[in-house]
Amino acid sequence: MNLRAKESMPVLQRDHALHLLREMLRIRRFEEKSAELYAAAKIRGFLHLYIGEEAVAVGVMQALEPRDAVVATYREHGHALVRGVSAASVMAEMCGKVEGCCRGRGGSMHIFDAATRFYGGNAIVGGGLPLAVGLALADKMMRRKQVTACFFGEGAVAEGEFHESMNLAALWGLPVVFCCENNLYAMGTALERSESETDLCLKAASFEVPSWPVDGMDILAVEEAARRAVTAVRSGGGPYFLEFRTYRFRAHSMFDPELYRTKQEVEEWKKRDPIPNFSVLLKEQGLLKEEDLDLIEAEVGAEIHEAVQFAEAGNWEPVEDLTRFVYSEQGRP
């Protein structure tokens, strides 16, 4: 199903289009593999899959520069991968190996990476929002033209920190792009069962923050909205709120009986799967041939295979490190 009328299609550069497709596939295949490894007890802790929502992270990241910052949620493997944290580093992290980006301590939910300015990974719903506002305040105080992209689910709007953070960012005109990934369910509770006002853009607008709803299943719509928002924010216009309407195809975590939604509903949303839909569109425009897709799949498969091998060959944290990094060592950072 193609959601866009043909005449509204932007002119696509082939390289960029294939890049978008590849990035979405990297997340999809990485997470499918992660689910396998979780079932095999090689990944421990929890595992929250982003499958179905890939267009959001991929589209938003296109608008960011290396100097910008990213704050994400516990469903952040995809964000980390697309931001440039290597698949090997993320996989090793999830497997608890010291070769991981947080030496195996962060795990699936707490991916941090200083080189790409990736500030987590956060197991607390809404917990990253004040942090993002702080990063942006630091940028403003130090007169840096940088942007912080802050991802959170629609469940976070029920937290007080959402309101405190939106207010501060708007009040002080801070460079934050608030990226709300509205997948309709806060774990198992539907939006209309948890919010008196379900129009999230209206909530954001009440803080005088420009707000746009975006089809989160359409990679091109996501990228376009993100570029517009990042440009406005970088030019000093204060924060921006984007509501990405999306859907997760898998359970909330690996322990979710999914009593809150019907199989039929899931199947309906799968018809809007951003990956096959985008592939079809590219084929229609003559930008993608079947052999291109095969090649991308093969390259992505090889990358993930290497990541898994790297993770499996990695080392466990030595017991001597148990209480390290609680405080600075020798009083130095």
Partner 1 sequence: MAKLTMVEAINLALKQEMERDPSVVVLGEDVGKNGGVFRVTQGLYEQFGDARVADTPLSESAIVGVAIGMAVYGLRPVAEIQFEGFIYAAMEQLISHASRIRTRSRGRYYCPLVLRMPYGGGIRAPEHHSESNEALLVHTPGLKVVAPSTPYEAKGLLVSAIRDPDPVIFMEPKRVYRAIKEEVPEEEYSIPLGQSRIVTEGRDVTVISWGAMLQATLKAAALMGERGIRSEVIDLRSLSPLDDETIIESVKKTRRAVIVHEAPRTCGLGAELVARINEKALLYLEAPVERVTGFDTVMPLPKLEQHYLPNAERVVEAMDRVLNF
Q: Please, which residue, 47 or 85, has the CB nearer to partner 1?
A: 85
Considering only residues 34 to 93 of the shown chain, the ones binding partner 1 according to CB under 8 A are 69
Strand segments (E) across the chain: 69-71, 112-113, 118-119, 148-153, 176-182, 185-186, 189-190, 211-215, 240-245
Q: Which residue stretch of 24-32, 159-167, 180-188, 255-263 sits at the interface with partner 1 (rule: CB under 8 A)?
A: 159-167
Rounded Cα distance between 262 and 294, Å, is 33
Q: Does 127 bind partner 1 (CB under 8 A)?
A: yes
Q: Does 318 bind partner 1 (CB under 8 A)?
A: no
Cβ-based neighbour number of residue 18 at 10 Å: 18
Closest separation in Å from C-beta 91 to partner 1: 17
Dihedral (CA of 50, 263, 190, 47) sign: negative
Could you tell me the two tokens for 131?
């942090």
Pairing type for strands 240-245 and 176-182 reads parallel
Which of 70, 135, 157, 304 binds partner 1 (CB under 8 A)? It is 135
Rounded Cα distance between 290 and 100, Å, is 35
What mask, x for binding partner 1 by CB under 8 A, covers residues 202 to 221?
Answer: --------------------
Rounded Cα distance between 258 and 93, Å, is 28
Which of 84, 134, 188, 213 binds partner 1 (CB under 8 A)? It is 134
Q: Which residue stretch of 42-50, 108-116, 217-225, 299-307 sits at the interface with partner 1 (rule: CB under 8 A)?
A: 108-116
Q: Does 131 bind partner 1 (CB under 8 A)?
A: yes
Which of 9, 171, 280, 313 binds partner 1 (CB under 8 A)? It is 171
Closest CA to 174 of 159, 164, 186: 164
Helix H or strand E segment including 138 = helix 128-141
Amino acid at site 329: E
Q: Does 239 bind partner 1 (CB under 8 A)?
A: no
Residues that bind partner 1 (CB under 8 A): 69, 101-103, 105-106, 110, 112-114, 119-120, 122-124, 127, 129-139, 141-142, 160-161, 164-165, 167-168, 171-172, 323-328, 331-333
